[in-house]
Amino acid sequence: MTHLPYQIGCVTVTERRFAARGEFRVRTGDRVEPDTVVGIEPAPAEPIIFDVAGTLRRPPSEAAQGLAVKIGERVTRGAVIARFAGSRGAPRECRSPENGVLASYDGSSGLATLLPGGGQSDLKAGVSGVVKDVVDGRSVTIETPGAFVSGVWGVGGDVHGVLRVAGQGRAEPVAAESLDGRFTYSILVVGGSVSVEMLARCAELEVRAIIAGGIAPSALGEYLGGAMPLPETLRRLQFSPKKAGGNTPPALMLLEGFDAGGMAEEAWQVLTACNGRECSLFAPGWPVRPRLIVQLPRHEVPDPLPLREAQVAPGSTVRIIGGSDAGTTAKVVQYPAHRVALPSRVPVDSALVRVAGGVEKMVPVLNLRVIANP
């Protein structure tokens, strides 16, 4: 299912899951902020292996018979794990070195494994909203009325902050030197594509994320210190500490692609409408698409709609991908249309679209990204 990439007046549902199982601190109906700890999960700790047979001074098989705890049972620190009542002297005991679960006992070596109840990790909401549902121990879903923007590529993890729009238009690049302390900790929206200077300036200002139409591969590569961003850098930005000045690099979200210019007008309008609002950006890395969730006050979004699915149909607004008119916005005139042959002379399903100026052309359906339904 593909949603329309730029929506306002909608409600976004975000699911937050424990890696394994945990305990939630929120209930349905609770309001949360991005830093709200919605749950805690025991953090995996180093298993502790201790010598039961050696402590009891018995062969492993005899020590097994003295186990006082079943495998899988929870124990506290100091609890007796095994006991051997010898014929002379006091019985010998082997005690648990920590709180945890007795995971196993190896009858050939006499070693036991304890999974300690270690520290805990917090699961944060990551987004502002209201808790819609809690699945005990597993996941929580949070509803956020407001706006939703989806990109084609993003990297840098989950960040949140205030959305700030720099520049005057979607296709007008922003000079790096024009950015100042007002943009610190923000999620910055810029027109045009991102330059090396812009990336460096944003790192210097501790901008949390940059949203733009595109970036030239050479610019990204140069900023990362290499000639070409290799596949692993599609997943995460590898920053040279010198370039970034030691600061956390900003996350990056592209709305059009590499080597692309400005974003679509529809995207620019949604983002400028959300200027100054709190938002959360999720950019876990390729192949997962990045998304931006903006919370708007209820009185501004009284009846938010669920995210709408994209439809290719007459009247849909689309962005063309690939070709000499890549990045052009068009309107679908006829779909389905008859198959047309690509330059490779392979026939494919196509749609008839109309671009600015009234020119109509056949475009393969796979080269269209729907940005507005009819």
Question: Half-sphere exposure of 280 toward its Cβ, with a 13 Å CA cutoff?
Answer: 25
b or e along 5-29 (b: 16 or more beta carbons within 10 Å of the residue's beta carbon)?
bbbbbbbbebebebeeebebbbeee
- Which region, judged by CB under 8 A, interacts with another protein, from 98-106, 199-207, 264-272, 296-304? 98-106
Task: Give me 223's structure tokens.
Answer: 């900023």
Supply the minimum distance, in Å, between the C-beta of residue 228 and another protein.
6
Question: Half-sphere exposure of 345 toward its Cβ, with a 13 Å CA cutoff?
Answer: 0
Question: How far apart are alpha carbons 172 and 154 in whole angstroms?
Answer: 21
Binding flags for another protein, 138-177, as an x/- string (CB under 8 A): ------------x-xx------------------------
From 88, 242, 299, 345, residue interacting with another protein (rule: CB under 8 A): 345
DSSP label of 324: T
Note whether 367 binds another protein by CB under 8 A.
Answer: yes
The strand pairing partners of 49, in sequence order, are: 113
Query: Which positions ≥6 away from 105 have C-beta within 8 Å?
Result: 52, 64, 67, 71, 111, 112, 113
Q: Output 169 or 347, the one with its CB closest to another protein.
A: 347
Note whether 181 binds another protein by CB under 8 A.
Answer: no
From 62, 138, 261, 286, residue interacting with another protein (rule: CB under 8 A): 286
Note whether 111 binds another protein by CB under 8 A.
Answer: yes
- Mark residue 34 as left, alpha or beta (left: phi above 0; alpha: psi -120 to 50; beta: remaining): alpha
Size of the site for another protein (CB under 8 A): 52
Query: Which positions ≥6 away from 358 have C-beta within 8 Å?
Result: none
Backbone phi, psi, residue 354, to 5°:
-120, 125
- Which region, judged by CB under 8 A, interacts with another protein, from 165-173, 282-290, 298-306, 327-335? 282-290
DSSP label of 181: G
Note whether 216 binds another protein by CB under 8 A.
Answer: yes
Angle (nearest 5°) at CA 224 between 222 and 230: 95
Question: Half-sphere exposure of 45 toward its Cβ, with a 13 Å CA cutoff?
Answer: 18
From 33, 62, 93, 106, residue interacting with another protein (rule: CB under 8 A): 106
From 79, 200, 234, 355, residue interacting with another protein (rule: CB under 8 A): 234
Supply the minimum distance, in Å, between the C-beta of residue 343 and another protein.
4
Supply the minimum distance, in Å, between the C-beta of residue 77 and another protein.
19
Note whether 364 binds another protein by CB under 8 A.
Answer: yes
Supply the minimum distance, in Å, between the C-beta of residue 206 and another protein.
26
Supply the minimum distance, in Å, between the C-beta of residue 292 and another protein.
13
Binding flags for another protein, 40-59, as an x/- string (CB under 8 A): ----x-xx-x----------
Supply the minimum distance, in Å, between the C-beta of residue 324 and another protein.
6
Helix, strand, or coil (residue 53) = helix
Task: Give me 287's structure tokens.
Answer: 């192949």
Inter-axis angle of helices 217-224 and 196-204, nearest 10:
40
From 100, 167, 249, 257, residue interacting with another protein (rule: CB under 8 A): 257
Note whether 37 binds another protein by CB under 8 A.
Answer: no
Supply the minimum distance, in Å, between the C-beta of residue 255 and another protein.
12
Residues 256/369, Cβ–Cβ less than 8 Å: no
Note whether 104 binds another protein by CB under 8 A.
Answer: yes
Contacting residues toward another protein, per CB under 8 A:
1, 3, 19, 44, 46-47, 49, 103-104, 106-109, 111, 113, 115, 150, 152-153, 216-218, 221, 228-231, 234, 257-259, 286-289, 291, 321-324, 342-349, 363-364, 366-367
